[in-house]
Structure 1
């Protein structure tokens, strides 16, 4: 996200994660959870919530938009 100025659409962020990390995922990471979402994508969205609690990602942005805070850009 930092390369994009600190903010991106969730779909873009998840696509970038897949490009960078997809070769490291295991078969179980591609299984679906109860919501029919792929496990690693679901985990990434939960992690986004944790990062928001830690002040690394902005809270209250428009739906589907992930934006780093100043603290998030220095990690």
Structure 2
């Protein structure tokens, strides 16, 4: 069984943040993703990350969040551990 790809989390992050009003703490966003998509995560997704004390899927989601900041979908100026949609992020959610 394989882990969920990092890119899969892009749409899930957009959805979670949209549902949470556009801005949320990292933990709130991850909890919303788990509530919405937890049933789709594989057994391997739940294994602990070797470098952090979090499941692999949460680590992959955090890396995708970094790519989304680079791509202008999430605000790079947000405080640490706060994930916030930009206008481009709202547009990307609406286009999905």
TM-score per shorter chain, which class? over 0.9
Aligned to 1:7: 23
The TM-score normalised by the length of structure 2 is 0.74
Aligned to 1:56: 73
Unaligned stretches of 5+ residues in structure 2: 1-16
Aligned to 2:37: 21
Are 1:39 and 2:44 an aligned pair? no
Q: CA deviation at 1:61?
A: 1.1
Unaligned stretches of 5+ residues in structure 1: none
**Larger displacement relative to structure 2 (4-13 or 49-58):** 4-13
Moved segments of 4+, more than 2 Å: none
Q: Aligned to 2:75, what secondary structure does the other structure show?
A: coil
RMSD: 0.9
The TM-score normalised by the length of structure 1 is 0.93
Q: Distance in 1 between matches of 2:21 and 2:85?
A: 9
